[in-house]
Chain A
Amino acid sequence: MRHKQSNQLNSWLDCVLSGLRNDEERVANIMGSTAKRWKKFTPLFLLMLPGLAYLIVNNYLPMFGMIIAFKDINFSKGILGSDWVGLKNFEYLFKTSDAFIITRNTILYNASFIVVNTIGAIGLAILLNEIRQKFFQRFYQSVIILPHLISMVVVSYLVYALLSSETGLINKTILPWFGAEPIAWYSSKEYWPYILTVVNIWKGIGYLSVVYLASIISIDPEYYEAATLDGATKWQQIRTITIPLIMPVITMMTLLAIGRIFYSDFGLFYQVPMDSGILSETTNVIDTYVYRALMNLGDIGMSSAAGVYQSIVGFVLVLLSNYAVRKFSKENALF
């Protein structure tokens, strides 16, 4: 079996490096006409049924709830009987002087998170792949997902332990070491883009790297062996084998992240800055703005409107990005 695989995989290597189009054609030819294809796929369609059923019930049916964003819900009349109010529920998102700030913050943070986290996670995965001793493999793998398991609320306490004005580790121990003055961290907004990015990396890349590690591990070691024989350095190998072969995964993860570019990790932007109003200009994002606005109003129409707004922007951006990706390499696009 291994021998047979070897031959086929070698030919597969060529295909992969020049696009999967050849493969597609070959297979399609074997499959035959369209009608035959549908019939042939019946068992596979059956396989998809449970998943599709779940998608419909769990995701598609509830989408009718998006009409809540356009209505003034009166509980006596029910969702359907309530009045339509057009875009009124969306006003509060734009009529504020902060509309620009929250949008800017949301986009900038997410864009930098995507770039930094992706590079970090891939890097971590590559490093992990180099470890040979079983004990260390297990040790590192266990430890790096630790941050992901701790909830943001607790993370905010831990950050506070570092940055508190009077009792924080930095002000009390580290800065005096360097002879510097204590800084009022929770009152100085300029540091927070960096602080939040660092916290986000710390919490996310261990978990993210597992995905990339799984992909990297599946790369046939024969490629590396061949490359080593040809005299390629580690760095060259990474550049020409590893990255290209996991590119589909990278592209997919990035496209998905772009789709969620208007959403933020609420815990990160609300809990970690300890809800300090002074930091608003650099820590307020769409989700925290909505939360603060609706805390005393409890208006489900307005919160639904925020969700619709975030969804539509994300959707448009993904369509655009996917289109761009298609131009470069068709097989990597999501659809």
Chain B
Amino acid sequence: MTRKHGWIGGLLAIPLLLAACSSNNGSNEAAGPNSGGSTSAASDGAGEPYELTMAYFTLGSVPKDQLLIQDELNKITKAKLNTTVKLLPISISTWQNQINLMLTSNEKLDLMPILGNTYANQVAKGQLVELDELLAKHGTGILEALGQDYASAAMINGKTYAVPSVRDLAQSYGFQIRKDLVDKYNLNLGQVKELEDLEPILKTIKDNEPNMIPLVNQAGGSPFSDTFSTRDSLGDDMGVLLNNGQDLKVVNWFETEEYAATLKLMREWYKAGYIGKDAVTNKESTSDQIKGGKGAGNLANMKPGYDVQESRQAGMPIVSVEMMPPVAKTSTVTNIMWGIAKNSDKPERALQFLNLMYTDKDIVNLLDWGIEGKHYVKVSDNVIDYPQGVTAGNVGYAGTGWLFGNQFLSYIFKGDDEQLWEKMKEFNTNAIKSKALGFTFDSTSVKTEFAAVSNVLSQYRLALECGALDPDKVLPEFIKKLKDAGIDKIIAEKQKQLDAWAAANGK
């Protein structure tokens, strides 16, 4: 039939394209991700010039003085490694898409940050280079900065494909509230240990401040925040470990008594007006709500220096009380990591630069703060401030400290605790470590169920946890739907992988 001709014509053109694609892939296959470490290491020792492409994500807009930073950076890297670095900022909302595209089309890409929830998938899809050998040879600075526990936290099947950045690697948990309200009503924060203890405080606010919501939530998050409880979410909350991960049995979090009890409490609070009626559709951050005078306080994940940070964001003094001790789980460690893309022509050179990001103070501060004199001035040896006339609103460059390598090497900004990094280090070291720290779940074999369960979660979870629905009626419905979607299959698979991992790691 004449109709098909056009289609066939189109098909005939395809082999041309396929040839182009396969030759690209072919040549890369010859090099191979695993052999890259050993075969090119020798030739690279001579240090031929190379341009590294480092992608990273930006939030909102690309800083004005981006290129200046890149030039300064290249001065250092050229001297030390005979390497130039090309910075490639990408908006975070298109991050995943862009990386997939760049990897598929074999574009020049060496280093890139990894977000924890996509890590296992990226490894399963062959997007990352295996790092163990490279780390041993060129990455000693990285290993040292992280420490044994955290360095091995991102292993999949016994191999490392990414390293976490050095920052707050654990999380504690508590309640924060406007200081002026605490003073006004003489609120007793000291006795707050459990969620129930918050009731008198919330009631006082509700009774005396009619236009204020006592307990607000983050946009898209529930009031008791996603990690409040002693559970290790194992990355996705589809099967968790209880008791801060000291117990290696995977259970369905949504079926536990703890969950049911928390939901009941949230329901009462919702009905009493401690949680806003619009909590489910809220699109504002907690600090915006507090800043705008709409919210009084909220539950949050904490770390050292949290009060200062929050106060700055809300534009007024905030105080907090810690309700749960710091815990380190795989998800707190792997949420921001660095990896080397399989596209990289010289993985060893990439790792050498990465090593510098963990050890070289000049590089870290250049990437975090900008150029001295232009974007910041030194107030004392380790403390900085904005130069005259520069404010947070018009500074030409602002980097993300928790991203670029080793945050402990970064200068402290005026107003923050000068001992911040020491405290952070202690915080990381002394945190309770989940026994599953280092285990990452690979969902590829259950991805159909994963997709179905994701949908059920998005239907029920937020509304239940904000107290907008009656748990007595809806929770059983929710649990049933989860089972229909296959959550038990996911849990069984997770347990299987966990057991294997535990056996291999002597736990």
A is bound by B: yes
In the complex, chain B residues whose CB is within 8 Å of the CB of A166: 276-278
* Complex interface residues of chain A between 219 and 237 (CB less than 8 A to chain B): none
If A56-B10, A74-B126 touch, whether A92 touches B17 (CB-CB below 8 Å) is no
Q: Contact: A75 with B104, CB < 8 Å?
A: yes
B residues whose Cβ falls under 8 Å from a Cβ of A: 6-7, 9-10, 13-14, 17-18, 21-22, 24-25, 28-29, 33, 96, 100, 103-104, 117-118, 121-122, 125-127, 220, 236, 276-278, 280-281, 283, 342, 443, 447-452, 454-455, 458-463, 468-469, 481, 484-486
Q: Contact: A60 with B10, CB < 8 Å?
A: yes
Q: Contacts A167-B278, A274-B280 given; 12 further ones with Cβ under 8 A?
A: A56-B13, A60-B10, A61-B14, A98-B452, A98-B455, A165-B277, A184-B468, A186-B280, A278-B280, A293-B450, A296-B117, A298-B122
Q: Contact: B121 with A297, CB < 8 Å?
A: yes
Q: Contact: B447 with A95, CB < 8 Å?
A: no
If A80-B25, A160-B281 touch, whether A96 touches B463 (CB-CB below 8 Å) is no
Q: Contact: A298 with B121, CB < 8 Å?
A: yes
Among B96, B220, B458, max chain A CB count under 10 A is at B458
User: CB of A277 within 8 A of chain B?
Assistant: yes
Q: Contact: B277 with A73, CB < 8 Å?
A: no
Q: Contact: B126 with A77, CB < 8 Å?
A: yes
* Partner of B451 from A63, A165, A280, A297 at Cβ < 8 Å: A297
* Partner of B485 from A75, A81, A96, A302 at Cβ < 8 Å: A96
A165 to B281, CA, bound (A): 10
* Partner of B455 from A164, A276, A293 at Cβ < 8 Å: A293
Among B280, B450, B484, max chain A CB count under 10 A is at B280
Chain A proximity of B127: nearest CB distance (Å): 5
In the complex, chain B residues whose CB is within 8 Å of the CB of A74: 125-126
Q: Contact: A97 with B10, CB < 8 Å?
A: no
Chain A proximity of B10: nearest CB distance (Å): 4
Interface size class of A (residues with CB under 8 A): 35 or more
In the complex, chain B residues whose CB is within 8 Å of the CB of A80: 18, 21-22, 25
User: CB of A331 within 8 A of chain B?
Assistant: no
Q: Contact: B451 with A294, CB < 8 Å?
A: yes
Q: Contact: B280 with A293, CB < 8 Å?
A: no
In the complex, chain A residues whose CB is within 8 Å of the CB of B220: 275
Q: Contact: A298 with B100, CB < 8 Å?
A: yes
Q: Contact: A97 with B481, CB < 8 Å?
A: yes
Q: Contact: B13 with A61, CB < 8 Å?
A: yes
User: CB of A79 within 8 A of chain B?
Assistant: yes
10 contacts between A and B (CB under 8 A): A60-B10, A92-B451, A164-B278, A187-B280, A187-B468, A274-B280, A284-B455, A284-B459, A296-B454, A297-B121
User: CB of A292 within 8 A of chain B?
Assistant: yes
Q: Which residue of B lies closest to A185 (CB)?
A: B281
Q: Contact: B447 with A79, CB < 8 Å?
A: no
* Partner of B459 from A77, A91, A277, A300 at Cβ < 8 Å: A277
Contact with B along A164-191 (1 / 0, CB 8 A): 1111000000000000000010110000
* Partner of A296 from B13, B28, B236, B281 at Cβ < 8 Å: B236
A36 to B29, CA, bound (A): 55
In the complex, chain A residues whose CB is within 8 Å of the CB of B468: 184, 187, 278
Q: Contact: B10 with A276, CB < 8 Å?
A: no
Q: Contact: B448 with A64, CB < 8 Å?
A: no
User: CB of A76 within 8 A of chain B?
Assistant: yes
User: CB of A78 within 8 A of chain B?
Assistant: yes
A102 to B236, CA, bound (A): 24
User: CB of A23 within 8 A of chain B?
Assistant: no
User: CB of A289 within 8 A of chain B?
Assistant: yes
Chain B proximity of A49: nearest CB distance (Å): 14
Q: Contact: B484 with A300, CB < 8 Å?
A: no
